[in-house]
Each structure stands twice: as C-alpha cells, then as structure tokens.
A and B are shown apart, each in its own frame.
Chain A
C-alpha cells in the first residue's frame, strides 16, 4: 500500500468500499498487528531501503529531517504522509538505570538500521517532558528552556499532556509507521528484514496513541468526519483540511535556528505538541473563498487575488514579508477589521528576521483517547529552540494586541482562531541523538 499520492494518482480506487487513501489512513488510525497485516495484504510490502550499518553516519540531531526529505518544485520540504505519536510513561520506579537506557537505545538503533531516513523510509524522534525530568534531583541546565504546558489564550482550556515521553513516527508508507510502532513496542521481533536487538516494552508503557496524515489527497479522501460539512468541500490537492498548503520554505525556521546551541543538550531542540479540534462548517459553508484566503494568509492576499487553488503558486514563500503583511497587521486591524493567521504569526521573528519555529504538524481524525475515530483535528507539532519561542509565536497568532485596539474580535475575523479549539497541550525536549534514551536532567 504505497499511497505516494502525488497529485496525479488521486482517483479513489474503490476496493472493499474504501479508497487506497482512506484505507491507509484507517489502518494507521487503528494500529496494531491486524491493521498492519491488512495493510500488507492489500498493498503488499513497500520496497523500502534499510538504514546504514554504520549508524555514526547519521546526524547528531534527532530532528535533522530536512536533508533526508523530498523537495517539491519550489524547494519546499515535502512532509511525510503518515504519522503516529506514541505517548509513553517510564515503567520503572524512581530513575532509569543504565541498563534500561541501553535497552531503549538499542531499540531505537535497530529501527535506524531497519529503515533509511526519508519520506520513503522512516523518520522518528523521541522527546521528554518536564514531568519526566522532575524525577532527577538536578534541574535541567539553564541552556534548556522547557516549560510545563499551560493555556496560552484566555479562550482555551486545554488538558495538559504530562506523560513522560513522546515518540513521533513518520513515513510516506502507512505500513512503515505501523511496523515501526509494533517493533518498538515488542509486538514483532524483526522489521524490514532487520532483527530488533531490543524493544521498549519493558521500560515504557504506552499511555496514548495519536495518528494522522498530511499531503495532497489524504484530507479530501478522509473528509467524512465531524467538523467538516457533508458537502465534501476539501480540495483534492489540499494537504490539510483547511484547504491550503503550509510549510513554505521561507516561512519556517531552519533546523539550525531551532537547535539548542550549548550545554549537555546541544544539538537538541524543544517539541511542542497540541491537539486542535477543527470546526470547519462555517469556514466552508458560510465564508467565501476570498474570506478564507484573507483569514488564512492576509487581507492583501484576498484583495489582490494572490492565492490560486491551495496556494502552490506562491512558490517557496507565503508572501508575507514580500507584501509587508506582518508590518501592516495593526493597520489592517484598524482599517479592515480583519487580519490573517499567517500575517499575525509572521510577526514572531528573531533579530535576523527568521521565523522561530519549524512546523511538523498534521491532520487527524482522532476523536479522543479511546481511539474513537471521526473528528477532524490537527496535531500541531512544532520545533523551536526554546518553549518561549513557541509562546511568543502563539502570542503573535492570538493577536490580542490587535483586537484590543480595533474592530477585530477575540476570535472573529482574527485569523483562523474561530475555527479551531486547542484541546491538549504538551511540551517536550528532543535531546540530541546521543541522549535520546531516558536521559538524566544533566547528562555528560
């Protein structure tokens, strides 16, 4: 089951009532050995290259994905299409032992040997929460800014994700993320022809599982869910439910920009995770196309009709700076009474004008922890050097400063705030690769 989903290969090949893309998404959402074998029965085993024998050739950063990912015609990174997030608790008492550390590390290394890094193979990261680090006497070094999660707007009341760890698995192939998960959890002993030297089932308990997808065709094929009107409004080309492309190269930070530069966790980064419920009835049924463009990008983009289709024509930039959108956010709030999501968010920049974070988010149909399916949502995964960088970006996106002095509402005509509700928030540290297995708070 390939589901490579380049735009041409779009027609749902109806088989057993489900198209290829519906099937791939459903298999990942369900998970487990039976979903994996159904997936393999239907699509066969994807032909995926194994990873290197010499793992020292891999980058020191867990989050070094971009050099392995495909690029589109404009040089934008193409996000891997299928995702699983595993939320884990440390299974032992007190603090992890060196033996446990070795077990976890050899499980991770086995996965790296099994699949090469890339869209066509597997990418994964392992992160740890502030609650995890609380078990150590020493606090985290000052070179790490990892804060406990909290509500970041007056109008949200998120549940907090305080599990110890999160594993993010990504691949263009549904069976690859499923098999990697099975192998990691000790449900299968070999993967892609490589024996697992160990698994994490003795050191971690899986306490939650979240899944999703991103990329042309997947949202359209999986739009029969709550939060999307029954008129099937999601464009076949859209990588995300809201109908627009995201992740333009110039609107993301570089991996260098988000990497912690010194201290024991140098080479690491922080990983913020939120679960956002989407409510797109009004978006698709009551807003016009030009209102959607204005609210997602910037009023100028609507007035000058800059966005064609899902926005591929914008190239390698969402044209924020080019059209002075962030600089005019306050003026637009005053003179239009409406501001765009990207316009507001792009106000968060460092001294060099760089965005503060990399977005590695994806859509989902997960409804709740019971694995109940059927609610359009988005797992917002972003990487930034410090959690403060995330908070600053989210503040910019809230636009409270704009709403206070203009016709813009707290959520009405305030970007896309009206259509989303943050249900959960969690913050994690992604250590460099050498410390990714049950690190202490101050490893040497």
Chain B
C-alpha cells in the first residue's frame, strides 16, 4: 500500500473549522465544507477561504508551472449540468494546485489534461489526474486533494498534455506537445496548519466574489471589455459575462478574407475566463443566415482565452446570437458552483 499520512485532516484543522460554525452555516465536519443555505444561481461570497503556500516552480521549454497548496477542502465537480460535491476524504492532507503559463508571454494556459505523481524519498505517495478548476482567489488552475506522508522533501511530477485550444498570435505553433515538469518542495505539517483561514461572516452568501489573490505568477484574467478590439456586443447568462468582438487581424488558421468572430466569456467581478464550454453562434443579416455553427476554443496573449470562428464578415445591423450549448466543464471552489450551470442564449445587435 501507499505510504500515507494517517493523520486525518480533521485532527489538524478542527479548531479552525469549528470556529467558522455559526448558525447560518451548514457544517459537515471540521474538515468538510461550510456552505450557504439557499444558494442563488449566482456567484456568491463563500463562507471562508483557505490561505495558500507557494511550493515551487518548474518548467520545460515555454511551459512554466507554479505549484501551491492549502488545507484540503471540498469542491464541486461537474459532468454536463450535474454538479457533485466532492468531499474531503479521510486520507488526504492537502489541496494541491498547479497553474501553467507561457514563459514568453505570461499567458495562463488552458491545457486539457494535467496529472500529478507525488513522491517522497523516491516513493510514490499519491498519483492522480488533476481536475481543471476555478476558484475566486486563483481563477483557472488544476487541483485536487492529495495524501502526503509527513514532513519532508517531496517531488511533484506533473504530466502536462498538449493544449486543447487553438493557439494564436504569439502562441501560434506552441504547446502542441505535452511535457513533464518536476517541482521539488518542502512540506511540514506546521506550515500547512499555520496557513490563514479567513472567514466572511457578513458577506457570506451575498452576490460577489473575493478579490483575486496577489500571486508571484501570472493569473488567468480576461481583458477588460474596453481593451478588446471591435466589440460587437455583450450579454449575460448563468451570471457569466460575454463579450463578442472581431479582431482586426484574423488568426493563421483562418482563410484569407475572413473575419474572426470571437466570444470571451468571463466570471463577473474577477474576469476569469471560462474554459471547457460548448459555444455556438448564429449571425443573420436581413433575415439571412451568414453563420450558424460552433465556436472553438482559442487562446491569444492579447485577447485571452475565448471561443471563435472564421466567418464571411460582420456588418453593422447584423444580429448575433451566442448560445451556451454546454456550461463550463470545470470543477468549482465554493461560490462558483451554482453559477455557470444553467446557461442559455444571448441576442446582440451589432
């Protein structure tokens, strides 16, 4: 069997957890989760956030990777529109998180698949694929709760697969092959249990989000609406904001003479891009369809993560409908699990 921290997470973090147990919380157990009753289908302030510690960085080629951890916590995963609370199991000791970005442009990369092997003294203590995740303080990252084996020096070996989005601009041609990145880190139980545990008793459950954290590494933020070129319209569904635009230059993969129609969905407040969605669009002019098909994920250092298609052109007066066919298939930390699930159509007039 794997070597595992037998110390149940609850034992270390019990006090902190109980401190947050006021009347309006539903507290499963000290190390479980606290959640707000009657959550609206919007982004809301969570009951608390766990502080994080930076563990180290690594890289290979243009890939850069930052590794962090916090106390273990529950989160929600999603398949289709079916969200499920993934509780903290008894044998885990930390919540491990990785952010991956491009060394040249600092763009956070929406790669499709990242898995982690955690080793201590050359022996594997945990091994798992990481969930793509969204949290209010960090935005888009990869993570899961993992089992560590006491104080000491660890190596995290992360397999990062090719990026599952069309690379544009300064990213064109890059990230078509995956890499393995190793990060060595020190872990002590003291360091982990001394991490901050911040509560929001007054705002908890209210619409809103905790501000993005200050980090030593890039964050996935979509550009402000005003910083995007040729904005065609905006919309909102499932509490996410959408900006449709048409950049002046079309990406390499588009045919000559076409216009690139792009849609940038982001979380309210923090402007985190929303990956792993199925989006489609119809563009009609004088009642005739100009485009009626899917938009595919793309990433550009200036335009950020978005969904787009090359179309025959867009003119003032056209009507554009953007449809969310499938909501973001990305696991969510507390405060993001009720929003971005039931999502529909947005009409915009150019």
User: Bound state CA distance, A374 and B144, in angstroms?
Assistant: 23
Q: How far is the CA of A291 from the CA of B2 in the complex (A)?
A: 27
Separation of A154 and B176 alpha carbons in the complex (Å): 10
Chain A residues with Cβ below 8 Å from B345 are none
Residue of B84, B144, B276 touching A407 (CB-CB under 8 A): B276
A40 interfacial by beta-carbon distance below 8 Å: no
The answer to whether A291 touches B79 (Cβ under 8 A) is yes
Binds A, one of B167-175, B239-247, B326-334: B326-334
CA–CA, A285 and B296, complex, Å: 32
Q: Does A360 contact B (CB under 8 A)?
A: no
Chain A residues in 8 Å Cβ range of B89? 229, 231, 281, 285
- Whether A410 and B112, one on each chain, are in contact in the complex, defined by CB atoms closer than 8 angstroms, is yes
Q: Does B91 contact A (CB under 8 A)?
A: yes
Q: Are A418 and B129 touching (Cβ within 8 A)?
A: yes
Asked whether, in the complex, the Cβ of B329 is within 8 Å of the Cβ of A412, the reply is yes
Task: Please name all residues of chain A whose beta carbon is closer than 8 Å to the beta carbon of B277 when the two chains form the complex.
Answer: 337, 407
Q: Is A71 in contact with chain B by the CB < 8 A criterion? A: no
Bound-state Cα–Cα, A410 to B278, Å: 14
Contact A412 B113 (CB under 8 A): yes
Interface secondary structure of A, over-half rule: loop
* A403 part of interface (Cβ distance < 8 Å): yes
Taking a contact as CB atoms under 8 Å apart, the answer to whether A286 and B79 are in contact is no
A409 with B82: CB separation less than 8 A: no
User: Closest approach, in angstroms, between the C-beta of A171 and any C-beta of chain B?
Assistant: 29
Given A155-B178, A226-B2, A407–B79 Cβ distance below 8 Å?
Answer: no
Checking A231, A286, A335, A412 against B86 with a beta-carbon cut-off of 8 angstroms, the contacting residue is: A286
List B residues 262-296 near A (Cβ within 8 Å). Answer: 276-278, 280, 294, 296
Shortest Cβ distance from residue B116 to the other chain A in the assembled complex, whole angstroms? 11
Provide the residues of chain A in CB contact with B327, threshold 8 Å.
Answer: 337, 407
Q: Which of A294-302, A304-312, A320-328 interfaces with chain B?
A: A294-302
Question: What's the minimum C-beta distance from A232 to chain B, rounded to whole angstroms?
Answer: 12
With an 8 A cutoff between CB atoms, is A135 at the interface?
A: no
- CA of A410 to CA of B129 in the docked complex: distance in angstroms? 12
Least Cβ–Cβ distance between A418 and chain B, in angstroms? 5
The docked-state distance in angstroms from the alpha carbon of A412 to that of B132 is: 8
Residue A189, interface by CB 8 Å = no
CB neighbours of A294 from chain B (8 A): 79-80, 82
Check if B127 is an interface residue, CB within 8 A of chain A. Answer: yes
Residues of chain A in range 262-306 having any CB-CB distance to chain B below 8 Å: 279, 281-282, 285-288, 290-291, 294-295, 299, 302
Q: Which residues in window 113-135 of B have CB below 8 A to A?
A: 113, 127-129, 131-132
User: Is A410 a contact of B127 with CB atoms below 8 Å?
Assistant: no
Bound form: Cα–Cα A224–B127 in Å? 17
Interface size, chain A (Cβ < 8 Å): 40
A410 and B113 contact, CB distance less than 8 A:
yes
B161 and A410 form a contact (CB under 8 A): yes
Check: B187 CB closer than 8 A to any chain A CB: no
Chain A nearest CB, measured from B112 CB (Å): 4
Q: Which of A230, A287, A337, A405 has the most CB of B within 10 A?
A: A337
* Interface flag for B225 (CB, 8 Å): no
Q: Indicate whether A386 reaches chain B with its CB closer than 8 angstroms.
A: no
A275 to chain B, nearest CB (A): 16
Is B77 an interface position by the 8 A CB rule?
yes
Whether B325 sits at the interface, judged by CB under 8 Å, is yes
| Across-interface contacts of A224 in B (CB, < 8 A) | 1
Q: Does B90 contact A (CB under 8 A)?
A: yes
| Chain B residue with the shortest CB-CB distance to A287 | B84
Q: Which residues of A, 143-167, contact B by the 8 Å Cβ criterion?
A: 154-155
Smallest Cβ distance from B85 to chain A, in angstroms?
9
- Bound CA span A145–B294, Å: 38
The one of A286, A299, A405 in contact with B296, judged by C-beta atoms closer than 8 angstroms, is A405
Question: How many angstroms between the C-alpha atoms of A232 and B106 in the bound complex?
Answer: 44
A338 at the interface (CB under 8 A from B): yes
- Assuming the contacts A286-B86, A288-B84, A403-B164, asked whether A411 and B129 have C-beta atoms less than 8 A apart, the reply is yes
Question: Does B157 have its Cβ within 8 Å of any Cβ on chain A?
Answer: no
Chain A 213-237 against B: per-residue CB contact (8 Å), 1 yes, 0 no? Answer: 0000000000011100111000000
**Residue ID in chain B nearest A288 by CB atoms:** B84
Chain B residues with Cβ below 8 Å from A287 are 77, 79, 84, 86
Within the complex, which residue of B178, B280, B329 is in contact with A338, where a contact is CB–CB below 8 Å? B329
B348 on the A face (CB < 8 A): no
CA distance A175 to B94 in the complex (A): 45
Q: CA A191 – CA B280 in complex, angstroms?
A: 67
The residue from A230, A403, A410, A413 contacting B79, defined by CB atoms under 8 A apart:
A413
Residues of A within 8 A of B80 (CB): 294, 299, 336-338, 413
A281 and B278 alpha carbons, distance in the complex (Å): 28
A279 to B147, CA, bound (A): 14
A335 & B82 in contact (Cβ 8 Å cutoff): no
How long is the Cα–Cα vector from A59 to B290 in the complex, in angstroms?
63
The verdict on A356 contacting chain B, using a C-beta distance below 8 Å, is no
Cα separation A279 to B278 with both chains bound (whole Å): 28
Tell whether, in the assembled complex, residue B84 and residue A412 are in contact, meaning their CB atoms are under 8 Å apart: no
| Complex alpha-carbon distance, A286 and B87, angstroms | 7
Interface residue A334 (Cβ < 8 Å from any Cβ of B): yes
Expressed in whole angstroms, the Cα–Cα distance for A374 and B296 within the complex equals: 43
Interface centre among A299, A335, A338, A412 (most CB of B within 10 A): A412
List the A residue with the shortest CB-CB distance to B91.
A230
Interface positions, chain A 252-266, Cβ under 8 Å from B, are: none
Taken together as a complex, chains A and B put the C-alpha atoms of A226 and B296 apart, in Å, by 38
**Which residues of B, 66-86, contact A by the 8 Å Cβ criterion?**
77, 79-82, 84, 86
Q: Which residue of B lies closest to A285 (CB)?
A: B89
Contacts of A288 in B (CB 8 A): 82, 84
Additional A-B contacts beyond A279-B127, A282-B86, A299-B80 (6; CB < 8 A): A282-B129, A333-B326, A374-B1, A404-B296, A410-B161, A412-B276
Residues of B within 8 A of A (CB): 1-2, 77, 79-82, 84, 86-87, 89-91, 112-113, 127-129, 131-132, 144, 159, 161-162, 164, 178, 276-278, 280, 294, 296, 325-329
Sort A-B residue pairs by CB-CB distance and give the 3 closest, nearest first: A337-B326, A286-B86, A336-B80
